[in-house]
Chain A
Amino acid sequence: MDKKSTLKWLAWGMLIAGFFMASPLWGNAGEIPESLELQSLSELYEGVSFDHLLHMDMVGNCAACHHHGTGDPVEDENCARCHSYSKDTEVVSCGSCHPLEPFSPEYLREKEMDANRYHRDMPGLKAAYHQSCLGCHNEMGGPTGCQDCHPRTEAGDALFRAGAYAPESGAAAGHH
């Protein structure tokens, strides 16, 4: 019984992992996507339809968001300390390095087992997106409200006790 359910979970895990591994088709050089569906938060928020082309036109420099392009040398001085002669990387998608679950026991163990690891303070994918997007939007005057980029789902409303799930006492509630 136990074995069976473990197998079931394993199968699901592999299916999901396979899905994530297969999705970044744009990882190959030369295939720059015009738009991206960012779905990693899709439980509480709807996915973000990210207009890659628009942002490319506006920023004009891949390395401003990605740490590195597929052909250009790294620009960040701190990265260049080690990576100035690194080979061209094949993948530039955020999710190819930033983990979906940066604090899972497995990932933490993996990080700590590797004594020579330099990148031990790597934000998870969600944090990488938000730090990069919101950081720039704050500086450039882009939209910064949560729902400006991704409207909340019903599950999100329930968590935030907002919309249909707002407390009845609502706005009238004075705080002690």
Chain B
Amino acid sequence: MKGISRRRFLAASVIGGAATTLTMSKKAMGAGTFEGYPEGMGVLVDLTRCVGCRSCEAACNKEQKLPEPAMPFDDPSVFDQTGHGGQKRRPDENAYTVVNRYDPPGANHPLFRKLQCNHCNEPACLTSCFVSAYTKTREGAVVYNEKVCVGCRNCMIACPFQIPAYSYSSAFDPVIKKCIFCYDTRLKYGKPPACVEACPQGVLTFGHRKELIKIGQDRIKARPDRYVDHIYGETEVGGTGWMYLSGVPFEQAGFDTTLGKEPIISNVKEFLSTVPMVLAIWPALFTGFHLLARKKGHADEDHSHESQEDEKS
């Protein structure tokens, strides 16, 4: 009677474990095939048009009620600022978007590049967050819930674009800060984000992501002399909501061109899919081994033997 129930228990746990593993790996397999919500919005950033006026930065500051900047937004000296290791400016808790200047070799004028969250189709920040603070909304924004953020900063490490920033200035309630595509105040209502509306040069084109890819392709086709034949973000890390067109090779404008097409989750999904298997099967398996090994010699009087052995030793 005892043996049967034990066998049943073992069998059930193995089957259960296998089922869990299968369903989990199926889910993990699904990653990398998601191409964004059909109605997902995005922005096409045309670097050939940007003149570095920083209207987008000023508009973002106002819309998101960010703190006063160190310098006026029309002060071009920020373009010469560098951080640790000569790094150019990056978005932080005080600025969800920044414009940097690059001087590509051979070009007779500087190139300006706006940086902000790219709102990935499959955000690495979202997959790395163990409290599920992040959400990819059906409108295309990657937003986060400050109330559940525990400040682990996994997303800062996971993001391939180094976007999420941390409110280090807050001593008691530090949280992650980043561009949210003006979700709460604008995108939710179908309106373009503040930076897009502020841009005087038409650098930023707001629309459905699918439509923006067509527009980008058309621009490249119409002016092959003007553009590099690539839309950065169309396929990078599984596709991003914000995409870029450039007149110079993307590396020269500070882009990481080594990211590949797979979403960041794909790099770890094989490993992660074995975790539930290990958790579910190993305890049952090794309990089974243990029980089998003990059962061999002494049939039913395990306990008495054990206690005798204990006394001897």
Contacts and interface: CB of A to CB of B under 8 A. Distances in A.
13 contacts: A41-B200, A103-B191, A123-B202, A124-B202, A127-B199, A127-B201, A134-B51, A159-B62, A161-B72, A161-B73, A173-B71, A175-B81, A176-B83
A109 to B, nearest CB: 9
Nearest to A129: B200
A10 to B, nearest CB: 18
A162 B72 contact: yes
Interface stretch (A26-34, A89-97, A164-172): A164-172
B111 interface: no
A131 B71 CA distance: 27
Nearest to A160: B73
A162 B73 contact: yes
B68 A103 contact: no
B interface residue count range (under 10 / 10 to 19 / 20 to 34 / 35 or more): 35 or more
B196 A103 contact: yes
Contacts of A130: 200-202
B176 to A, nearest CB: 19
Contacts of A173: 70-71
Interface string B196-220: 1101111001111001001100110
A105 B200 contact: no
B70 A160 contact: no
Interface in A14-46: 41
Given A105-B190, A167-B71, A175-B81, A127 B197 contact: no
Given A105-B190, A112-B211, A159-B59, A127 B200 contact: yes
B211 A131 contact: no
Contacts of B270: none
Interface of A: 41, 78, 103-105, 108, 112, 120-121, 123-124, 126-128, 130-131, 134, 138, 144, 146, 159-162, 165-167, 169-171, 173, 175-176
Given A160-B58, A175-B81, A131 B74 contact: no
A169 B70 contact: yes
Contacts of B74: 146, 160, 162
Contacts of B200: 41, 126-127, 130
A118 to B, nearest CB: 9
Contacts of A176: 83
Interface in B93-150: 109
Contacts of B218: 121
Given A41-B200, A121-B218, A121-B219, A159 B71 contact: no
